[in-house]
Amino acid sequence: MNEKATLLVGGKSYELDVITGTENEKCIDIQDLRSRSGYITMDPGYGNTGSCFSSITYVDGTNGILRYRGYPIEQVAEKASFVEIAYLILYGELPKPRRMKAFSEALNEHAALHTNLEHHFSGFPKDAPPMAILSAMLNLVACFHPEVLEVHADGPEFDRTAALLLSKVRTISAFAYRMATGKPFNHPNPNLSYCANFLHMMFSEPYQDFVASPVVERAMNLFLVLHADHEQNCSTSTVRVVGSSRANLFSSVAAGVCALWGPLHGGANTGVIKMLEDIKASGKSITSYIDMAKDKNSTFRLMGFGHRVYKNFDPRSIILKKQVHDVLQELHLDDSLLEIALELEAATLNDDYFLSRHLYPNVDFYSGILLRAIGIPLNMYTVMFAIGRMPGWISNWKELHQHNQRISRPRQIYTGYTERPFVPTAER
């Protein structure tokens, strides 16, 4: 029997459908509640609102579960390449060798930027935030490929557009860094893996090619895999909202980049390192920072702590914490920020404020230390997140079109003036 919910309001009773997902998640369908009753629901920040049906990624925040298309993040992180995970997220299945080869070739084919696009980088001030450059350049790339302005959520046109975006985001990001440091651009090398190619574009010099060590390449691959998708987070929801107006894929993901930039979302990976550096430089105790985070008169928050969905632990943070240790060891590096991070985490685990609010390290807490170890500059951390999240954004954009999702248009409860007569300037 189909489960139903009953809402009693305004002296009337309304029967509402209950929808159950494949993991037994339940929701009450209120789509026609307003037209039937005149009532809307209120949920600022959408903490309790299902905005779509999706078969891409499953998150169980209570039990720390994250799966891409059914595959547990722990297995994926250990075994998969970012390119095959991008394919999985986009197309729903792991690629067979032939498909994998074709997909990799498509990424290589689209890696280079149109040469007329290159001079646009020099129009940015040298200290322009790379996230601003990335967002702007994504829209600009689309101008050089007018065919991608057409909305295709399936078929060869979509495949081409998705490959173009997945590949060019990496080139744009590396070029933004080269421009900021006043260095010549390094063009993509089709003989390198996705990660090694990015590192080459970032760090090769005219006098010496940068050859990524297997440890560094593996660490970057892991970082990207762990960030590949995370269901309806702030940036992905942004991509969906923008895409719901039938805006093209490039403008939709450019908006996603802007949402990711914020310090409460992807920008937190930069915030964590700045916070740890600040703790180190200040010579103040860990306790004083924890006290500041707890102080309701202060706007300071412990960066890299807390999550809207994970209320026990973030599985990505557990994986990253272990990998950071291994990578530092393999690279014979000793990072004092890791010691501070471990101390900070340990202190919060004994603190009722953090325990009672279920505030644990999230994906951003240890990722910055990993990026630091492999030589990524601090202002590029959130850009790295954006490269990693691209498969999730593209796939959610595709899915919303496949589901023919209605334009996003939330309601509000108006709390302003009721009607009043206009006052001419002279009488004010």
362 binds ligand ACO (CB under 6 A): yes
How far apart, in Å, do the first and last CA atoms of the chain sit? 64
Q: Quick one: CA torsion of 99, 103, 106, 108, rounded to 10 degrees?
A: -130
**Residue 89 Cβ, how far from ligand ACO at the closest point, in Å?**
16
Q: How many residues does the chain have?
A: 428
CA distance 218 to 226: 12
Burial pattern 259-290, b for ≥16 Cβ within 10 A else e, equals bbbeeebbbbbbbbbebbeebeeeeeeeeebb
364 binds ligand ACO (CB under 6 A): yes
> Which residue in 152, 227, 229, 364 is the catalytic one?
364
Residues 6+ apart with CB under 8 A from 15: 4, 5, 6
Q: Which is nearer to ligand ACO, 163 or 380 (CB)?
A: 380
Among 201, 303, 320, 337, binds ligand ACO (CB under 6 A): 303
**Residue 74 Cβ, how far from ligand ACO at the closest point, in Å?**
18
Amino acid at 351: D
Q: Which stretch binds ligand ACO (CB under 6 A): 75-83, 203-211, 216-224, 259-267?
A: 259-267
319 binds ligand ACO (CB under 6 A): no
Among 130, 266, 315, 391, binds ligand ACO (CB under 6 A): 266
CA distances in angstroms from 177 to 16, 102, 217, listed in the order given: 53, 29, 19
**Is 314 designated active site?**
no
Can you point out the beta strands (E) in 89-184?
none
Q: Which is nearer to ligand ACO, 161 or 367 (CB)?
A: 367
Do the beta carbons of residue 235 and residue 123 sit within 8 Å? Answer: no
363 binds ligand ACO (CB under 6 A): yes
**Residue 407 Cβ, how far from ligand ACO at the closest point, in Å?**
25
**Residue 282 Cβ, how far from ligand ACO at the closest point, in Å?**
18
**Residue 363 Cβ, how far from ligand ACO at the closest point, in Å?**
5
> Which residue in 230, 307, 314, 401 is the catalytic one?
307
DSSP state of 150: S
Nearest Cα neighbor of 324 from 355, 366, 358 is 366
Comparing every residue's Cβ against ligand ACO, the nearest one is: 306
CA distance 290 to 253: 36
225 binds ligand ACO (CB under 6 A): no
Burial pattern 398-427, b for ≥16 Cβ within 10 A else e, equals bbbbeeeeeebeeeeeeeeeeeeeeeeeee
DSSP state of 145: -
Give the helix/strand (H/E) hosting 392: helix 381-402
CA distances in angstroms from 169 to 126, 135, 137, 371, 425, listed in the order given: 20, 10, 9, 18, 52
Among 53, 357, 402, 410, binds ligand ACO (CB under 6 A): 357
384 binds ligand ACO (CB under 6 A): no
Q: Which stretch binds ligand ACO (CB under 6 A): 82-90, 236-244, 273-281, 297-305?
A: 297-305
Among 304, 368, 388, 392, binds ligand ACO (CB under 6 A): 304
Give the helix/strand (H/E) hosting 20: strand 12-20
396 binds ligand ACO (CB under 6 A): no
293 binds ligand ACO (CB under 6 A): yes
**Residue 166 Cβ, how far from ligand ACO at the closest point, in Å?**
20
**Is 159 designated active site?**
no
Q: Which stretch binds ligand ACO (CB under 6 A): 139-147, 178-186, 204-212, 358-366?
A: 358-366
Among 58, 82, 223, 305, binds ligand ACO (CB under 6 A): 305
Which residues are near ligand ACO by CB under 6 A?
45, 233, 264-266, 268, 293, 301-308, 357, 359, 362-364
Q: Which sequence positions are flagged as catalytic?
A: 307, 364
